[in-house]
């Protein structure tokens, strides 16, 4: 799909509700063969994606942006609606395990009213956003009963690690303990690489999330192992810097991914330095993930 594919009609493009949405507002659609998602257009988010194209290092950590689209027909609620078109991050996964994690201690935008600022500060302090800059918004794991969104909102500093452990439990129960460790280590590397980029760019990403996805298909992982792609990675418990580049490259083969998403309250802010509040959340997230490597996994469904 070319950039700015505006005024495409439903006669040309088929739409259906996105199957794997685990958090955020509704109305996100899957387009055509499912490789593209259409998200209700917010001008600030569109502008952020378009500006991000100028920074290759940052662009590598967000979904591919394909421009905009307008649905000309459909029911009364969607006819004439405009969307931004993005890469579907779960396309190609057989059994995706998905986790949406809001990052940063601030969730109100720069132009929020005083009343909304007070409300959002209160909401942040009532959740792990205020203390950790990390809040789980939603999760989907094959074979595990989904939790209501208010369950995630009630997680505390003491219990949030258990929720992360639940997310990785399928890797252990369906594939192997080695796969669980592999997935966690790869996510640590990805988050650390993103943190390095955040230190070098001038953005403010309020109420933005990271979307984690890994495939719990045993057949795909066994094929991955048989091709010898993880031998070096499984020997890298110390995450040596000299191995980081190779591991990051090999992690992009479709077994797992992590991308920053949701930029309706995000800005490029030249001259203002990097986003300390977002970076704080990334650093706390790495601490949580590292802690999981030293713990026994939580069985799926417990």
List pLDDT tens digits, range 84-124.
Answer: 999 999 988 999 999 999 999 999 999 999 999 999 999 99
H or E element at residue 103: strand 96-103
- What is the end-to-end Cα distance of the chain in Å, rounded? 43
Pair 254, 114 in one domain:
yes
Give the integer Cα–Cα distance in Å for 302 and 177: 17
Pair 220, 134 in one domain:
yes
Q: Classify 35 as helix, strand or coil.
A: coil
CA distances from 28 to 24, 83, 295 (A): 9, 9, 36
Pair 70, 190 in one domain:
no
Give the integer Cα–Cα distance in Å for 267 and 110: 9
Pair 122, 268 in one domain:
yes
pLDDT of the residue at 157: 95
Decide which of 98 and 253 is more confident.
Answer: 98
Short-list 111, 108, 146, 151, CA closest to 127: 151
Strands 65-70 and 82-87: antiparallel
Q: Domain of residue 222: give its range.
A: 96-293
Asked whether residue 153 is assigned to any structural domain, the reply reads: yes
Mean pLDDT over 197-203 rounds to: 98
Asked whether residue 83 is assigned to any structural domain, the reply reads: yes
Pair 223, 284 in one domain:
yes
Decide which of 150 and 102 is more confident.
Answer: 102
């Amino acid at each position: 799909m070319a950039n700015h594919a505006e005024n495409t009609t439903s006669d040309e493009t088929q739409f259906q509700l996105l199957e794997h949405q685990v958090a955020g507002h509704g109305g996100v659609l899957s387009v055509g063969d499912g490789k593209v998602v259409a998200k209700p257009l917010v001008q600030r988010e569109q502008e952020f994606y378009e500006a991000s194209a100028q920074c290759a290092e940052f662009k590598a950590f967000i979904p591919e942006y394909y421009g905009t689209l307008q649905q000309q027909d459909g029911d009364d609620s969607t006819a004439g609606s405009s969307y931004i078109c993005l890469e579907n991050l779960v396309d190609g996964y057989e059994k995706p395990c998905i986790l949406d994690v809001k990052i940063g201690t601030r969730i109100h935008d720069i132009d929020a009213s005083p009343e909304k600022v007070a409300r959002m500060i209160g909401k942040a302090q009532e959740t792990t956003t205020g203390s950790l800059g990390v809040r789980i918004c939603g999760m989907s794991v094959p074979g595990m009963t989904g939790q209501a969104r208010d369950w995630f909102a009630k997680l505390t500093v003491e219990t949030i690690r258990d929720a992360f452990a639940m997310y990785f439990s399928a890797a252990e129960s369906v594939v192997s303990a080695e796969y669980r460790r592999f997935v966690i280590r790869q996510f640590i590397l990805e988050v650390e690489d993103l943190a390095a980029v955040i230190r070098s760019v001038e953005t403010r990403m309020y109420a933005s999330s990271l979307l984690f996805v890994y495939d719990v298909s045993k057949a795909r992982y066994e094929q991955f192992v048989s091709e010898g792609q993880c031998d070096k990675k499984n020997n890298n418990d110390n995450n040596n810097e000299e191995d980081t580049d190779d591991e990051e490259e090999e992690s992009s083969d479709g077994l797992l991914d992590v991308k920053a998403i949701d930029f309706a309250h995000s800005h490029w802010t030249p001259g203002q330095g990097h986003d300390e509040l977002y970076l704080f959340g990334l650093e706390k997230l790495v601490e949580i993930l590292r802690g999981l490597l030293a713990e026994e996994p939580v069985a799926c469904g417990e």
